[in-house]
Amino acid sequence: MKRQYLRIISFVAFGMCCLSISSCKEDKKTVKPVVITFKKEGELTIKKASNDSIIKKIDIEIADNDYETQTGMMYRDSMEDTQGMLFVFPDAQYHTFYMKNTRIPLDIIYIGSDKKIVSIQKNAKPFDESSLPSNAPAQYVLEINAGLSETWNLEVGDVINYTNL
């Protein structure tokens, strides 16, 4: 009788241990949001077409492969007004950008193979998946904080130059 009682107690204790272990597996894991920070990879100068004066110098991150081009400014919480992202494509084509998973509003500046601005999409809205096309073939695309193209008085024909670090 005493052995049978000990077996029952052991069985109950074993069952309680199993339950406590399985309940640990049900704990919810916290998922951290993806955040990407700026990494300076070059410097870019924008000049006025009419008189070759410097409009602005900024630090740039360069997107020149498929992954970087597809990710772009996604998952970023902010960007300084002295920073931008330059997309470099193999040749000039009509390009279309959108703001999927992009948390900050941007100006999207399309630049031809001669490094002259060919069109500007101003104030692109965060998370908006609407098409934002270039008005002419572009080999480069510069993304900066929304409103800066207006503040800097950028115009079609203005010129960029950049260097990699």
10 compared with 143, residue with greater pLDDT: 143
- Please give the average per-residue pLDDT across 16-39, as a whole number: 66
Torsion angle defined by CA atoms of residues 161, 163, 164 and 165, in that order, rounded to the nearest 10 degrees: -150
Burial of 138 (0-12, 13-18, 19+ CB in 10 A): buried
Class of domain 42-164: mainly beta
Give the pLDDT score at 25.
54
Backbone dihedral angles phi then psi of residue 19, each to the nearest 5 degrees:
-65, -40
| Residue 83 in tokens | 């920073």
pLDDT tens figures, 97-134: 999 999 999 999 999 999 999 999 999 999 999 999 99
Question: What residues does each domain of the chain span?
Answer: 42-164
Identify any residues that bridge with 93 across adjacent strands, giving them in sequence order.
138
Distance CA 149, CA 147 (A): 6
Assessment of whether the complete model's pTM goes beyond 0.85: no
